[in-house]
Amino acid sequence: MQSFFLPFAVLIILGMAACSPVTPATQEPAAPQSASSEAYHPLTVESGVEPIDRVLEAVASGDPQALHAFVEFTSAVCTQGDGLGGPPKCREGEAEGTPLEVLSFLSSEGSFIRKNEIENWTGIDVSGVYAIYEVSPAVSSEQYYPAGEYVILFVSDENQPAVALRIGEVGIVRVDHIFDSSVQSLNAMLEREASMVLLPPKS
The CATH number given to whatever domain includes residue 192 is: 3.10.450
**Is residue 20 one of the residues assigned to a domain?**
no
**What is residue 66's three-state secondary structure?**
helix
**Is residue 31 one of the residues assigned to a domain?**
no
**Regarding beta strands 150-155 and 172-178, do their DSSP bridges make them parallel or antiparallel, or are they unpaired?**
unpaired
The domain containing residue 189 runs over which residues? 37-73+105-199
**Is residue 18 one of the residues assigned to a domain?**
no
Task: Please count the structural domains in the chain.
Answer: 1
**Regarding beta strands 110-114 and 74-77, do their DSSP bridges make them parallel or antiparallel, or are they unpaired?**
unpaired
Per-residue pLDDT of the chain (203 residues; tens, 9 = 90+): 444 333 433 333 434 434 443 333 344 444 445 555 567 999 999 999 999 999 999 999 999 999 999 999 999 999 988 766 789 999 999 999 999 999 999 998 889 999 999 999 999 999 999 999 999 999 988 889 999 999 999 999 878 899 999 999 999 999 999 999 999 999 999 999 999 999 999 97
**Is residue 48 one of the residues assigned to a domain?**
yes
- Global model pTM greater than 0.95: no
**Is residue 92 one of the residues assigned to a domain?**
no
**What is residue 90's three-state secondary structure?**
coil
